[in-house]
Structure 1
Amino acid sequence: MSHTAHIRSHRKPRRNASKIAMRAGVAGGVLGTLAVAGASGSASAAEPVTQTLELPTLTADMAVQVAQSAEVTQQAAANYQLQAERDAAAAKAAKEAKADLADAKKKAEARKKAAEAARKAAAERASRAAERTALSASASTPAAGSGASASVSTGSSTATGSAAAVISFVKAQVGKAYVSGATGPSAYDCSGLVLTAFKQVGISLPRVSQDQSTAGTQVSLSNLQPGDILYWGGAGSAYHVGVYVGDGMFVGAQNPSTGVVERPLSYDPPSGAVRVL
């Protein structure tokens, strides 16, 4: 036996050649795959990807459609503006028509009042004429059982106290206008003048002629005193009143044509008189 037979070798035992070859093949495949992937990655990194968007081509038909759409939009805007102008014009016309109607109503009402005043004045004149005729006939006929003639006083008695104040007031109103329903200070109707005159001395009279003709003590026309209230028509149904101011004169708001006047009793002889002073 050799003296080296029991000495172990320091070299590693050889591996099986087939296993080594297999491992080498696997490693080569892996490295090859990595190399291909790396090359592909490098190529991708070197060449950026560009995405191309295809825009629609503006054809002749599309251009016509766009133009037509713009024209329709412009026409719609013009129509809206025209409608707004028409609405504004209609509103203005309606406002003007309303104002014209109101003005026409006012004028019609004024004409109606003027016609009514003229009709009333004409009726009063006609009634006074009839009363005058009746009074003239009565004055020329002897009173029953007495043989005396009816007469109207034209004496020149002098007013004093409250009567003087009333007379002074009504004379100061001569020349002012006659307006139905007016009680002064710039216009009166007949009963409005009497009402306001006696108010100056603290006497409150009824507003209308019918009531004023019964407001005091009935007195004879032959025994008149300044400050007496004269009335035309029947007592309680008189259609006109005035104030006797003495000397055969009276003051009254006669009608729209004459206004407030001072006249002799012979101008329009009254039917009766009442005394409140």
Structure 2
Amino acid sequence: MFPLKEENRRVAQLLLRSGTCPRCIFRFCGVDLPAPYKRPYKELLDDLQTFLESENRELILEGPDPPLKKIRLHEDGVDTLSANGEEGVSVTEDENMAATKPSNWRVCNVCLGILQGFCEKDFITEVCQKVEASGFEFTSVVLSVSFPPQLSVREHAAWLLVKQEMGKQSLSLGRNDVVQLKEAYKWITHPLFSEELGVPTDGKSLFEVSVVFAHPETLQDCHFLGEVCPDCFKPAKNKQSVFTRMAVLKALSRIKEEDFLT
């Protein structure tokens, strides 16, 4: 059953027109059940189009956009993680490799593709192949995912947009009403990782697989926060950039809505 209701129609249409993917639309409409997120992406696109009775497919299939990127191990090869005595494999994306999705899928303006090609079975299979090639033996795995900090800025902008639209309908949307990106990603990928690796996912496992997403092309999304809340961004020796996820979230919690929107 399609998870959106009639009351979600205007918000879904607004987000779709702005370039948001179906899974992120679900998140901002408060869909908090895992099953809808796990469905194949193309099916979600088709069902969303049917739900909105759109006659213009360009709302959904629009191109070209910058391609999504495949992942690879760090240039030094397999990284052995030493924190807390754990072993594991760290995986990051490579902007020089080919796309993982059809070129006519528009890259989501909120998640930057993480809930598109980067959570589907083909991508998970590639990551698992890297893990298996590492030579480690393990009976369970804990998954660690890191998202670029600018996604928090994009989520905040989308939340304000949806909040304004719902206000016109005398409805409200709290920040906690939005399903977190990491939660949706976990719902989709944990069963796929477990199936591919043949072991259960376990938060207490001593073997960690770390997937790090980066999108340097949009890091400038955070720069205005440094001007509005300069005390939130302090240089640290162990950080490559002052725009860490925690610093960005701290700044977003302080900034006034009118300052963010101007």
Tell whether the structures are fold-level matches, with TM greater than 0.5.
no
- Bigger relative contact order (CA 8 A; separation at least 6): 2
More strand by share: 1
Q: Given the two structures, how large is their TM-score scaled by the length of structure 1? A: 0.21
Q: Given the two structures, how large is their TM-score scaled by the length of structure 2? A: 0.22
